[in-house]
Chain A
Amino acid sequence: MKIIELKETITASNDRDAEVLRSELKEQKTLLVNLMASPGAGKTTLLERTIQDLGSKYRIAVMEADVDSDVDAKRIEMMGAKAVQAHTGGMCHMDAGMTRRALEELNAPESDLVVLENVGNLICPAEFDTGAGKNVMLLSVPEGDDKPLKYPLMFTTSDALLITKIDVLPYFDFDAEKCIERAKKLNPRIKVFLVSSKTGEGMEAWESWLSDAIDSWKQ
């Protein structure tokens, strides 16, 4: 018997895989956006609307990561975008290896934008780098403005925060200003958008940020 010192964090091998995947995607000029949120925050509805608005300008594909079922993938295909269902086999998050396999199935180089709709969960998706160029999180009004306090890592790793379902703001004690302040304290460079995928309010600002991100990824 001999002892080998590894002194490596458990996510280190995933981090390396993710870095390789990211540089390949950069080469292919495909922006991968990792979309994270709780179950029911409105990820699929946001995507439906975004595909409807930007689908004529960009080639968009979606990877639906779910523990089971293909309900979300079917909804996306109805909007005319390419979709693939990536089952995580009971796992609570997507990692770089699973993302790579799903991308191969999609034939990613044909797309300007691939959105990975991660498993609905505010904890572990933030811990595992998928190789995405941008990390985007959703927080819906009914979930409450205290979420940055409870799930700080998710806010720290995200490039953009979309506060969704703002059409129901009058019915909830959701303090948007306080929520943004909490999020910015954790991550001063986070971009915040207030949107309602249902009424379309705020969608323009989000879509223009996303378009800029797609364009600059190609350079």
Chain B
Amino acid sequence: MHEMGIILHLAKTLDETCEEQNLKGIGKVVLQVGEVSGIMTDYFEDCWNYFRTRHPRLETAELVIETIPAFTYCDHCGKTYPTVRFGRECPYCHSGETWLIRGNECIIKEIEVYD
């Protein structure tokens, strides 16, 4: 359900862009998705392929997902580590005073269009 909701927002932005720039169609959409954004990329692709058959302007739009690795910063020792491998606790000093610095994004990087 979550993925489908995100696709509706994505489609809205793409529709707006097409209208603003008078574009005929989209050939490719490149998304940058953080490792811990909560989006399941396999499922997202399935949802996209279902959705685009029902949305003529996006019918030819192939989806490309680039993954952004997640990193966490430790406030206590000042080190940065990969989030997916170690989680919330710092692997160097075992502090829980840590913050996600990247890996939570979902960005529309670029689109390939027909004009």
Contact = CB atoms under 8 A, between A and B. Distances in A.
Interface stretch (B45-53, B77-85, B100-108): B100-108
A6 B109 contact: yes
Contact of B9 (A6, A7, A95, A149): A95
A9 B13 CA distance: 10
B64 to A, nearest CB: 12
A2 interface: yes
Contacts of A91: 1, 4-5, 8
B115 interface: yes
B87 to A, nearest CB: 11
A136 to B, nearest CB: 22
A23 interface: no
Contact of A2 (B12, B16, B108, B113): B113
For chain B, what secondary structure do more than half of its interface residues adopt (helix, strand, loop), or is it mixed? mixed
Given A1-B112, A1-B114, A6 B17 contact: yes
A1 B113 contact: yes
A8 B108 contact: yes
A160 B88 CA distance: 25
Given A4-B110, A92-B1, A10 B38 contact: no
A62 B39 CA distance: 31
Interface in A1-49: 1-14
> How extensive is the interface on chain B, given as a class?
20 to 34
A8 B2 CA distance: 19
B16 A13 contact: yes
Nearest to B6: A10
Nearest to B109: A7
B111 A9 contact: no
Nearest to B7: A10
B10 interface: yes
Nearest to A4: B111
Nearest to A93: B5
Nearest to B15: A13
B25 to A, nearest CB: 10
A1 B109 CA distance: 16
B5 A4 contact: no
B22 interface: no
Interface in A127-163: 128, 149
A14 B8 CA distance: 11
A95 B8 CA distance: 11
Interface string B9-27: 1101100110001000001
A219 to B, nearest CB: 33
Given A91-B5, A123-B38, A4 B106 contact: no
B112 A2 contact: yes
14 contacts: A1-B114, A3-B112, A4-B17, A6-B108, A6-B109, A7-B108, A9-B106, A9-B107, A10-B107, A10-B108, A90-B1, A91-B8, A95-B9, A149-B88
The 9 closest A-B pairs by CB, nearest first: A92-B1, A6-B108, A10-B106, A91-B5, A5-B110, A13-B13, A1-B112, A8-B108, A4-B111
